[in-house]
């Protein structure tokens, strides 16, 4: 510069600039017009009321205005209507003694539309402290803002998609030992957002106890073997309910093979699991119905062929009782017992062959049960078994075929007696639940293994050495024909509970 001075004995700095001491204040201020002329930011000077007195030429490049077009106009004219309040807040802060402020807002373009700008303010005061000028520096951040908004929209869409599909995202930082969860992860786990200690131990503690070791081994195998995983397991929610989860995971390592992070998705597949279970149950019921229908047709022919000669055999055996020597009477009693057993089997076959129905009459449940208990009493007494019934003082009523229901309860009681070789007590409990009459028959027998429970009621499946499986199969058929059902729970060594639910007179069927 012409008025700059050079100090002797000093060499020029290698960066091409003169030593700072060679510059005077006037030299720097002389550069201000050049700096303002080439500034990419919009620099403005206004009064406290917002009236512009100066704008840098960059306002034309950024917004399309000549500086002269805005001088004399107020700041309110170029702010987006929703952002005018930002300037009002800054002006209030300046009046209260604060000389600086900043915000992000939209400024009006001359050709239409708005651009996003980051605006900083500072106040210039006179010697008395009164505000003389307000200077602002506005930087165009439209591109950055649009990228941020696009990213936010993308995240929102992803969040909505995850919520609709019930898919959550997780990421474990191996270096920081921290675990990140997306919002949908919290929703799946039944937790408020943020209410989770982000550690792998805390995550594993939410896994169902029966699946926890498996999931832990799976994740360790993934870490050690560079393998992604795809698996299913159960989790426990804070309210104690269980959800089924489909989990996919992968991992990143550095060039040295060190684990950097694991990440993946989880999806709540509880409804799908329940639907699959319902489908399997329906298919099994259909197969069972088809087997029963086929067996019913077969049973009709067998029962017809056996019943007539059986009646003849039983009749003549009874006649022989009066003419056979006393020492031979025991043989005839054995013959009659065996014929009675055959007759019972034939009756069961007839019930299978002839669809049962509830086109009967109103009956008190207690009366039906007492009849079944009387028929079973001789066999129970012989085995040292006592039957006790508890029922409401006013017995509930059902519409039924009394003989068929009595047959059903006889079959169940007989099974209970035969399951108690050492004697004991059979409890018969009658209750009412909404539109249902519920009868529970609880024995103290040997119990039934879990793997056999699903097969009860199948044709010719039995847990007894000399059983045929027909009795329980017929009982299921009778209960279903009356609009009810039979449920069986059992523990080996503890006993079995058979629950029969039937529509109460006036109630609705299942």
Domain boundaries, the chain: 31-140, 149-268, 278-354, 356-510
E strand map for 97-195: 100-108, 114-125, 131-140, 167-173, 178-181
Are 345 and 410 spatial neighbours (Cβ–Cβ below 8 Å)? no
Q: CA nearest 231: which of 208, 202, 211, 251?
A: 211
Q: How confident is the model at residue 17, as a pLDDT?
A: 39
CATH class of 149-268: alpha beta
Q: CA nearest 352: which of 426, 427, 277, 293?
A: 293
Angle at 230 between CA 229 and CA 231, to 5 degrees: 115
Question: What is 278-354's CATH number, 1.10.287, 1.10.3470, 1.25.40, 3.30.70?
Answer: 1.10.287
> What would you report as the CA-atom Rg of the chain, rounded to the nearest whole angstrom?
45
Long-range contacts of 452-456 (CB under 8 A, 24+ apart): 453/488, 453/490, 456/488
d(CA 412, CA 449): 18
Are 264 and 247 spatial neighbours (Cβ–Cβ below 8 Å)? yes
Collect all residues with Cβ–Cβ distance below 8 Å to 447 and sequence separation of at least 6.
419, 490, 491, 492, 493, 494, 495, 496
Instruction: Check if CATH label 2.60.40.1120 holds for domain 356-510.
Output: no
Measure CA 121 to chain center: 52
Q: How confident is the model at residue 9, as a pLDDT?
A: 40
Q: Which CATH superfamily hosts domain 31-140?
A: PAS domain (3.30.450.20)
Q: How many CB atoms lie within 10 A of CB 67?
A: 16
Supply the DSSP symbol for 327: G
Which phi and psi angles does 235 have, rounded to 5°?
Answer: -125, 160
Are 471 and 446 spatial neighbours (Cβ–Cβ below 8 Å)? no
Angle at 188 between CA 182 and CA 194, to 5 degrees: 45
Per-residue pLDDT of the chain (510 residues; tens, 9 = 90+): 333 333 344 444 444 334 445 545 556 666 767 777 777 889 999 898 889 999 999 999 899 999 999 999 988 888 888 888 888 888 888 888 787 778 888 999 998 889 999 989 888 888 888 888 889 999 999 888 888 888 777 777 766 666 666 788 888 888 888 888 888 888 888 888 877 776 778 888 889 999 999 888 887 777 776 667 888 999 999 888 999 998 888 888 888 888 888 888 888 888 888 888 888 878 877 776 676 666 666 666 676 667 767 777 777 777 777 677 777 777 777 887 777 777 777 766 666 656 555 467 889 999 999 999 999 999 999 999 999 999 998 889 998 888 889 989 998 999 899 889 999 999 999 998 878 999 999 999 888 888 777 767 665 556 555 555 577 778 888 888 888 989 989 888 889 999 999 999 864 444
428: β partners: 389, 441
Judged by DSSP in three states, 356 sits in coil
d(CA 207, CA 192): 18
Q: How confident is the model at residue 367, as a pLDDT?
A: 94
Count of H-run helices and E-run strands, the chain: 14, 17
Q: CA nearest 242: which of 289, 219, 210, 213?
A: 210
Extract the tokens encoding 482: 């009356």
Collect all residues with Cβ–Cβ distance below 8 Å to 37 and sequence separation of at least 6.
56, 57
Q: CA nearest 182: which of 169, 163, 167?
A: 169
Q: How confident is the model at residue 283, as a pLDDT?
A: 81
Are 233 and 215 spatial neighbours (Cβ–Cβ below 8 Å)? yes
Q: CA nearest 263: which of 141, 333, 173, 191?
A: 173
Residue with tokens 């077009």: 69
First to last CA, the chain: 101
Query: Helix 365-382 to helix 402-418 angle, to the nearest 10 degrees?
Result: 30
Q: How many CB atoms lie within 10 A of CB 309?
A: 9
d(CA 23, CA 9): 17
Q: How confident is the model at residue 430, as a pLDDT?
A: 94
């Amino acid at each position: 510069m012409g008025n700059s001075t050079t100090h002797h004995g000093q060499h020029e700095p290698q960066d091409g600039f003169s030593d700072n001491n060679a510059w005077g204040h006037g030299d720097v201020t002389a550069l201000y017009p050049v700096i303002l002329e080439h500034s990419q930011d919009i620099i403005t000077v206004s009064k406290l009321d917002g009236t512009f007195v100066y704008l840098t030429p960059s306002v034309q490049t950024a917004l399309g205005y000549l500086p002269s077009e805005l001088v004399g106009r107020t700041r309110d004219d170029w702010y987006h209507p929703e952002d005018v309040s930002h300037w009002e807040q800054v002006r209030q802060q300046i009046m209260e003694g604060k000389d600086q402020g900043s915000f992000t807002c939209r400024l009006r373009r001359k050709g239409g539309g708005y651009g996003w700008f980051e605006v900083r303010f500072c106040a210039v005061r006179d010697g008395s402290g009164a505000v003389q000028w307000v200077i602002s520096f506005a930087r165009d951040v439209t591109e950055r803002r649009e990228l941020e908004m696009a990213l936010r929209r993308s995240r929102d869409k992803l969040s909505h998609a995850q919520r609709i599909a019930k898919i959550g995202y997780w990421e474990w930082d191996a270096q920081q030992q921290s675990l990140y969860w997306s919002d949908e992860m919290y929703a799946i786990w039944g937790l408020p957002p943020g209410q989770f200690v982000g550690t792998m131990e805390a995550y594993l503690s939410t896994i169902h106890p029966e699946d926890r070791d498996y999931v832990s081994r799976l994740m360790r195998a993934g870490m050690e073997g560079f393998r992604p995983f795809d698996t299913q397991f159960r989790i426990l929610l804070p309210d104690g309910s269980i959800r089924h989860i489909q989990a996919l995971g992968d991992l990143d390592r550095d060039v040295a093979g060190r684990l950097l992070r694991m990440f993946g998705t989880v999806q709540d597949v509880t409804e799908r699991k329940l639907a699959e279970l319902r489908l399997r149950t329906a298919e099994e019921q259909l197969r069972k119905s088809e087997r029963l229908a086929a067996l019913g047709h077969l049973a009709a022919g067998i029962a017809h062929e056996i019943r007539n000669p059986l009646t003849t055999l039983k009749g003549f055996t009874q006649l022989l009782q009066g003419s056979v020597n006393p020492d031979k009477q025991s043989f005839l009693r054995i013959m009659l017992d065996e014929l009675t057993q055959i007759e019972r089997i034939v009756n069961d076959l007839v019930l299978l062959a002839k669809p049962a129905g509830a086109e009967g009459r109103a009956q008190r449940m207690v009366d039906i049960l007492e009849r079944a208990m009387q028929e079973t009493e001789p066999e129970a007494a012989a085995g040292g078994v006592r039957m006790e019934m508890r029922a409401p003082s006013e017995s509930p009523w059902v519409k039924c075929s009394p003989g068929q229901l009595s047959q059903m309860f006889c079959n169940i009681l007989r099974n209970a007696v035969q399951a108690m070789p050492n004697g004991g007590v059979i409890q018969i409990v009658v209750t009412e639940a909404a539109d249902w009459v519920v009868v529970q028959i609880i024995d103290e027998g040997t119990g039934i293994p879990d793997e056999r429970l699903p097969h009860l009621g199948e044709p010719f499946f039995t847990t007894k050495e000399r059983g045929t499986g027909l009795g329980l199969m017929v009982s299921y058929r009778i209960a279903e024909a009356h609009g009810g059902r039979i449920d069986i729970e059992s523990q080996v060594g503890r006993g079995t509970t058979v629950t029969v639910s039937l529509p109460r007179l006036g109630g609705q069927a299942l």
